[in-house]
Structure 1
Amino acid sequence: MSGGRFLINRRNLLAGATALPFIAVPGGLSAARDPEVDTAEGRIRGLRENGVLAFKGIPYGEDTARYRFRAPVAAKPWNSVQTAQAFAPICPQRRAGSEPASEDCLFLNVWTPEAHPRAKRPVMVYFHGGAYSNGTVTDPLTHGQHLAASGDVVVVTINHRLNALGYLYLAEFDKRFADSGNLGQLDLILGLQWVQRNIAAFGGDPARVMVFGQSGGGAKIATLMGMPAAKGLFHSAATMSGQQVTASGPGNAVARTRAYLSALGLSDAQFASLLDLPVEKLVEGLEGHDPVLGGSLYFGPVLDMKWLTRHPFWPDANPQSTGIPMILGNTREETRAFINPRGEKLAGLDWGNIAARLRPELKIDLDPDWIVKSYRDEYPDWSPVELFYRATTAGRSWPGQVIEADARAEAGAKRTWVYQLDHDSPIDPLRKAAHTDDIPFVFGTLAAEGSYSGTGEAQRKLSDQMMGAFVALARTGDPNHAGLPEWPHYELPERATMRFDLNTRAENDPRRFERELFARAPYIQPGS
């Protein structure tokens, strides 16, 4: 392949690294003193990082360029010691920035306090956000050393195929690609199988694996909870601002495939050309127009009746997952992260134009004038800006969580807990409590690039509470711990919710008015 950032071949880099006589690492240690672990595939060499052992860029699958639009293949064993001291390339995507990207992207990272097979620490496996089209676990907010050290757990983060490479539905064009609509999910399943096979060597307990993910990462977890192939691979789960009530139907998925082909100048009959196009060209096709939602093309899991045989949370919670202890969370004003408070959509916002500006932002089809009047009657002191963000959050980003939590409660799933992040960013006063702002509190990465959390004593206490809850879920199947007020189960009709803030407390149904307002019309999962 050619074209700038797509040139790196990670496997050649790994092979070459093993021949180096000396590798400088933090603390001045030489490669001879770096930690080494035997996996089922071969021996790997990591490094020491901030008091824990880190192993970065471990291959769990073969180069997907050789299996484009087909199911992943587990990494083949190797003989020499492989160096795992740097992040591997991410999946090619529109927002890759300066990071190396390659179809050879099935790599994971492990942080552990010690690599002792008898340690049996809880394992926390993170899936990144960015919907199903963008993102990576190399983001500094999701580096695992602080969580591993503070929580005394083993942390794993996994990259996988995204966008057309991971979810382009070709099954109705050629039966050879029967798996194509859910490849990103199959990658994650392969990664979890790697965890089951290898994590004991890193000091982890394969019988206590928790998956957690933010935004698209949470949606991937909700989808896995409805996939038979994922059964038994994890034992607790937490979703942060990420839900998947329904998957894409095959009809809509085919329509999107045709739109993608059209964006590349190809007819239906020319779909096989996708196998030979440079990956850079495949990324260009992502700019195509979505025939279902409008805007750029959506890619996500498909109800293909092979790997995904029913919707994750429709018409109810999948019985496969109701026994899994689960945290579901959102932030109070999600949409402040992706509707810029300093941008054009908010410029000149007033009571005369707010309804018109609300309409395109909502995923629930209700009269925006009625919505505005209802909010103003309930909250007469709110400004147009505050109403705009609360309504767009409640009518766009929050309903999926309500549906999933209610569905679990209705199914009798006793071990469900719900939270809301209320902490206002001290870094940007216009951000308030926005999408992604819970990540640094859970990972302990308050000072990392991209964090809006602040690093004061109050923020560190809040991080201890949130991180402690996630660690406790991984360790015992219950997020309650000594540093947190009692967190009741989510049951109907109380809907107990932990409000994480400088004054963390549990409250029943704290957004009842907004929940009931938007429950008057059905929620349509984007992409389905």
Structure 2
Amino acid sequence: MKVKEILLSLIVLTLPLLAIGQTKKETAPPIVAGKGIATVSTESGTVRGYIHNGTFTFKGIPYAKAERFMAPSKPDSWTGVRSSMSYGPVCPMDITTTVNDEIEFPFHHDWGYTNENCLSLNVWTPHLTDAKKRPVMVWLHGGGFTGGSSVELPSYDGENLTKKGDVVIVTVNHRLNILGFLDLSAYGEKYKSSANAGLLDLVAALQWVKQNIAQFGGDPGNVTIFGQSGGGGKVTCLMNAPSAKGLFHKAIVQSGSYITNFTERELAQKVSAALLNELHLQPNQIDSLQTISYERLNAAGKKALRHVSDGMKAEGLPAFGLGWGPIHDGNFLPYQPTEPAAMALSKDIPLLVGSTKNEFTPFVPGTRDITMDGAKANLQKKYGDKTEAYLAAVKKAYPETVKPSDYIDIDFNFRPLTVRQANGKAVPGAAPVYMYLFTWQSPVLDGAYKAMHCMEIPFVFDNISRCEEMTGGGQEAHILADKMSRAWIAFARTGNPNHKGLPNWPQYTSENGATMILDNVNQMKNNPDKELLQIATGKSL
């Protein structure tokens, strides 16, 4: 036998023996949970979460406790290890019992389970305590000030954003509607904090973050609050709250710039008086409100709001939008948002603010399949002899406009208010403001959803795969999500959203109107829709 053949034979015989002597490298399973896994000490006690695909995940951690209409206080401490592996309860609210099938399809709501003891939060982190301090991003959910929760939409899951940016994500549940915003201060010192109890909860959550987040690998000195719709409104409220100053360092408002003033205390107290009347209670029976069922309280509260609203209309006073929300109570919210003292509170807070191109307009009946003649007739009723100028302004602002519906379903509610908030914040000597406009059009259901309200959230959280019903889950969506999530992460880290994947994003001023257009092609434009907004709103912004 030749030498070469002998060597080849030895190799063939030896390989199986080598394989026997080697151990196959095992990969970690997607879920790692059990004793001693993802265990963290907090001020109140030790919590145990789990690890999912390498991300440490904790859910339902109590950050405070509160009696009905009372200010929150620190949660009860516990001994041993508290399991924190599933979401906590959500605030009681009006849960829908019927849905519009096509509208519900992209949202995939999870209504959770309700309990008034709902002050809990959730944390996602790449690593637990180590030498590295990571930016912390605290998400405030939408739903106005009456509904929603940290678990309501699949886009709220923080795992992908945590992985993408080496940041710590926190999402929060708090008191809403009549439980969070019923002003009973006229009935004694006991209820002095009732007017904005739901916002006091958020301050308590931020205090928890300050005191505990280092144990989860986060930097309490670099906290960004961000929220969409009602969550964006809550961000605005906290920017106006002296007790929240120092608890966060950057702010992001997504389609939530609608808080231009807080309900005056006098009006809020009329609602409370009407509530007592609905329940046939005297002022000296005010403590009864703490024990009646939520269902009865909620029903009476809605009647009280209608009663006060009807009274205002009868007096010729504006009553549109009267509902549960932030109250100018002189204490938690001592100023109206436009007062110089209020603006000074957030002067040093960088702001990222924007909205979506279409918001709620895709759901207006009769717009989806409208013809061009129908669109022009629709516009003629609104703009009269300015119709042609309007059509030209749409084409100038959005050169990609093709379908007749594209001319009539542009949002003119959130966008002007976004510009207004940015203009008010972008003053000489203040922290920078950055503006965006999300125009990406979803291909789902023949393009019916467009850039609707909430459409940008899966992109911010890099959760396209979790939200395929909304985004379609295609490559273009994933590419844009990568760019947007990196911008939000960069802003949370430094106060500046710029990164290599986007064109240069300059600071916004009322003069330059610098706006990042977020779409398949990202573009920086100055005052991209100024003429259009002037025609649509009838005023210069």
With the shorter chain as reference, the TM-score category is 0.7 to 0.9
Q: Do structure 1's residue 250 and structure 2's residue 270 form an aligned pair?
A: no
1:467 maps to which of 482, 485, 500: 485
Counterpart AA for 2:356: T
Corresponding residue for 2:295?
A: 280
User: What is the 5 A alignment of 1:202-217?
Assistant: 202-217=216-231
Distance 1:202 1:196 in 2: 11
Q: Secondary structure at the match of 1:452?
A: helix
Partner residue of 2:500 out of 479, 482, 492: 482
1:273-319: per-residue Cα shift (whole Å, max 9, x none)?
Answer: 32221122223345435416768861111111111111224568611
Q: For the residues of structure 1 that align with 2:469 and 2:476, how far apart are their CA atoms?
A: 15
The Cα shift of 1:27 comes to: 4.2
Q: CA distance change for structure 1 residues 315 and 425 in 2, over 3 Å: closer, same or farther?
A: farther
Q: 1:37 aligns with which of 37, 40, 48?
A: 40
Within 5 Å, give how 1:103-182 maps onto structure 2: 103-138=116-151, 139-182=153-196
Residue 180 of structure 2 contacts residue 195 of structure 2 at CA under 8 Å; is this kept in 1? yes
Tell me the matched-pair count: 482
Q: Which sections of structure 1, spanning at least 5 residues, go unmatched?
A: 1-24, 359-367, 524-528
Once the two structures are superposed, residues 392-436 of structure 1 have per-residue CA deviations (whole angstroms, 9 ceiling, x without a partner) of: x21x22222111100112354251100000100011312211111
Alignment match, 1:6: none
Q: How does 1:495-506 map to 2 (within 5 A)?
A: 495-506=513-524
Question: Helix, strand or coil: the match of 1:201?
Answer: helix
Identity of aligned residues (%): 35
> In 2, are the aligned partners of 1:123 and 1:155 still within 8 Å (CA)?
yes
Partner of residue 301, structure 1: 326
Q: Mark the CA change 1:183 to 1:345 in structure 2 (over 3 Å): closer, same or farther.
A: farther
Cα-to-partner distance string for 1:345-382 (whole Å, 9 max, x where unaligned): 99x976556677x7xxxxxxxxx657767624645898
Change (3 A) 1:498 1:265: farther
Structure 1 residues 270 and 373: alpha-carbon distance in aligned structure 2, compared to 1, 3 A threshold: farther
Report the TM-score when normalising by structure 1. Answer: 0.83
* Corresponding residue for residue 101 of structure 1: 114
Counterpart code for 1:114: H
**For residue 489 of structure 1, what is the amino acid of its counterpart?**
Q
Q: Structure 2 CA distance, aligned partners of 1:412 and 1:514?
A: 30
C-alpha offsets along residues 67-87 of structure 1, whole Å, 9 cap, x if unaligned?
A: 211111111221110000000
Alignment partners' CA distance in 1, 2:481 and 2:116: 35
Indicate the structure with greater helix content.
2
Amino acid at match of 1:404: Q
Please state how far the C-alpha of 1:118 moved relative to its aligned partner: 2.3
The 8 Å contact of residues 442 and 471 in structure 2, kept in 1 or not, is answered as yes
Q: Give 1:141 shift.
A: 1.1
Q: Which position in structure 1 is the counterpart of 2:456? A: 438
Is residue 332–residue 434 contact of structure 1 (8 Å, CA) maintained in 2? yes
Provide the rounded CA distance (Å) in 1 between the counterparts of 2:279 and 2:388.
45
Q: Which moved more, 1:439-448 or 1:376-385?
A: 376-385
For residue 335 of structure 1, report the CA deviation from its aligned partner.
1.8
Matched residue type, 1:42: G
1-structure distance, mates of 2:125, 2:144: 28
Partners of 1:72 and 1:190 within 8 A in 2 = yes
Give the letter aligned to residue 120 of structure 2.
Answer: F
1:225 aligns with 2:235: no
Residue range with higher mean Cα deviation, 94-103 or 418-427: 94-103
In the alignment, is residue 84 of structure 1 matched against residue 84 of structure 2? yes
Instruction: Name 2:22's counterpart in structure 1.
Output: none
- Residue of structure 2 in register with 1:183 after alignment: 197
Which one has a bigger Cα radius of gyration? 2
**Contact 1:499–1:507, Cα closer than 8 Å, also in 2:** yes
Tell me whether 253-262 or 450-459 shows the greater mean CA deviation.
253-262
Q: Aligned in 2, Cα 1:77/1:486: closer, same or farther, shift over 3 Å?
A: same
Contact kept, 8 Å, 1:129 with 1:215, in 2: the verdict is yes
